[in-house]
Chains A and B, each alone.
Chain A
């Protein structure tokens, strides 16, 4: 069946497309274009003038070890949080889907974390993970100095990873549960009658049918870990100690808004944007091929 709408004149079609094009232009291409322009100049914050410097901003960023440190941190953060959040979400969804006692309550309760704004949950986790006053003070009571996100970079990184993953477990859970409930019961029942165990059914029946969802969530989780981590870092660690949680997105915020280095921040945003575009292309070209939709 032909679903495409045809117009007698191209101008009418164009007219229908105009609002969309204007929206995309205003909210994406224009600011992005502005950012590209800024990244090629040195902007005076008060707008007193700017100087064309070509690729100098990129050169100074790419030769700065601090910058590469923040790239490494962002990639590590993305890998670990995506694994934790997707793994956690999948396990919880699988358990809920099995309709154990109280699963209806879990279904509602487990969605809540995603509804909490990043700064609010960062405040909560700052309290929970504080080495002296929070719940973690118990750990330090028995093993003094074991947990110290104030001076130990690895501990600080662990705390933002825990907070971020906790939030996205809820998000992933919704999608996994929806996908699991879309798997025909008959398949699972048939497998059960063949005598396969719960784990076996999960691995050979449910998991393969989840691959499109897994792929979708992989893209979203990685992208969000680059962008949505900002609020958590800002409140929990401010990028410290000694830059050990200075993720790319936080560095952009700090240099641009606090440091008033608009051009340096614009250049970093362009690099971050390219990185996300590359990752997404990679995912669609190489991983999507292994995902079957029907």
Chain B
């Protein structure tokens, strides 16, 4: 199917270049944008593309969903190897290290300045910008749909145990879970332990506690970084999660079991979950009628000085090997996306947060965060900007991170099924994860992260 799409877009590109060769005067310059979102979010992206095309007459962006993030990256790699790549592609956060070493991109900061756009890069929230920037601070890709992890909590259930605020520490959360259980709630908190939840359980936890996931400042300083999560505060966290699970305070919820954790929370079955602010809209739309809930920053262990949480989601990469006309179009498109009005449109229709301070201010001043379904989403900004990013909270930049996340899922499942102890499981995660990193380093022998 995706092959077919590639063929079609290739054919379209052929027709397009023919059209350009003709002296037709005002034909707009077309360029391709491939993205990984689907369903409801795909429609929002398409509307944004139409808005851009209607806003001017010089350029026309052709937006094509590739189904999901993995497919968007795979198809783009295949297309790039065949010389038929799109001009812009959306790549998820964990693909960042692979992209940086690909040599297949055109740095966006260069693209914008060469095409006469003055972008105030300092306007971007540092936690977001540094994730996609070189170690020197040059932005390589364009922050697009950004999110971070939050604690969702059920106000009604907490009222039953006499509380009006979400737990700020894990010690407090443990007491709340016990009280909720005592008040007759079967599932005080829901988690999932597949590779996808590495993001909120391992990466976000480590960031806000200022603990490393890997050496070399989480991989920013070199391809020889190796995992360290079997020696950090993360060990205590997994030990606690496991003991809470054993005590029946935490339930595992996943699609495979019939109900994922967002559904479990929205239906009122579980009283707390840790998930992306991107799910804020889903919970509002699918929640049990009349249920009162809110979001809060992820808890930390008592005595921890909270640091900023990590950005999740995806960014836009401009690919190498296109014509200067297409680059002009791409720059115009990125400039359009960066406008506060577009940020408002985007955040209203998805759950994603604005990526610039001016976008956030614009939304705040227009009263966005005071209205019912969007109220609470500003907590995500607070979490992302809780501190100036440290060497460790800039992000996690490890090669083949998808495989490492999968290994996280495997080991967590083994731990929760009592096949291995917490320490053994995390030791295995580090050992197998390091083997993945060894391979990545060997594949890019002699290369360095920009």
Contact = CB atoms under 8 A, between A and B. Distances in A.
Interface of A: 42-48, 51, 53, 60, 64, 66, 126-127, 130-134, 137, 148-153, 236-243, 254-255, 257-261, 263-264
A151 B417 contact: yes
Nearest to B73: A260
Nearest to B444: A44
B257 A130 contact: yes
A255 B403 contact: yes
B402 A238 contact: no
B103 A152 contact: no
11 contacts: A44-B102, A48-B101, A126-B256, A130-B256, A240-B409, A242-B417, A257-B70, A257-B74, A260-B73, A260-B402, A261-B436
Contacts of A51: 442-443, 445
A240 B257 CA distance: 12
Contacts of A66: 432
A60 B438 CA distance: 11
Nearest to B401: A259
B259 A132 contact: yes
A54 to B, nearest CB: 13
B104 interface: yes
Name the residue among B103, B419, B439 with the largest chain A CB count within 10 angstroms. B439
A151 to B, nearest CB: 5
B154 interface: no
**B interface, over-half SS:** helix
Contacts of B416: 151
A150 B444 contact: no
Contacts, number: 109
Interface of B: 70, 73-74, 77, 80-81, 98, 101-104, 194, 252, 254-259, 400, 402-403, 406, 409-411, 413-414, 416-417, 419, 432, 435-436, 439, 442-445
Contacts of A151: 252, 413, 416-417
Contacts of B410: 240-243
A257 to B, nearest CB: 5
Given A151-B252, A238-B194, A241-B417, A131 B258 contact: yes
Nearest to B82: A47
A236 B256 contact: yes
Given A44-B101, A242-B419, A261-B443, 13 more contacts: A42-B442, A42-B443, A45-B98, A46-B81, A47-B77, A60-B435, A64-B435, A126-B255, A133-B259, A148-B257, A149-B256, A151-B416, A152-B417
Nearest to A43: B443
Contacts of B443: 42-44, 51, 261, 263
Given A150-B256, A236-B256, A47 B74 contact: no
A264 B80 CA distance: 21
Contacts of A150: 252, 254, 256-257
A225 B101 CA distance: 38
Given A134-B258, A150-B256, A259-B400, A48 B417 contact: no
B417 A47 contact: no
Contacts of B74: 257
B190 to A, nearest CB: 12
Contact of B102 (A42, A45, A133): A45
Contact of B414 (A126, A238, A242, A255): A242
A261 B70 contact: no
B286 to A, nearest CB: 15
Contacts of A264: 439
Given A126-B256, A237-B256, A47 B81 contact: yes
B403 A240 contact: no
7 closest Cβ pairs, A-B complex = A133-B258, A130-B258, A46-B102, A241-B413, A259-B403, A242-B413, A242-B414
Contacts of B255: 126
Contacts of A240: 194, 409-410, 413
A264 B443 CA distance: 11
Given A47-B81, A237-B256, A259-B402, A153 B445 contact: no
B444 to A, nearest CB: 7
A42 to B, nearest CB: 5
A244 to B, nearest CB: 8
A64 B438 CA distance: 14
Contacts of A133: 257-259
B416 to A, nearest CB: 6
A137 to B, nearest CB: 7
A243 B411 CA distance: 9
A132 B439 CA distance: 40
Contacts of A134: 258
Contacts of A261: 400, 403, 436, 439, 443
Contact of B103 (A46, A130, A236, A255): A46
Given A240-B409, A241-B417, A47 B256 contact: no
A90 B74 CA distance: 42
Nearest to B102: A46
A43 B81 CA distance: 12
Contacts of B414: 241-242
B129 to A, nearest CB: 24
Contacts of B259: 132-133
A3 to B, nearest CB: 41
Contacts of A43: 443
A258 B411 CA distance: 19
Contacts of B103: 46, 48
Contacts of A238: 194, 256
A258 B81 contact: no
A126 B260 CA distance: 13
A243 B419 CA distance: 12
B9 to A, nearest CB: 19
Contacts of B102: 44-46, 48
A239 B194 CA distance: 11
B305 to A, nearest CB: 35
A153 B403 CA distance: 20
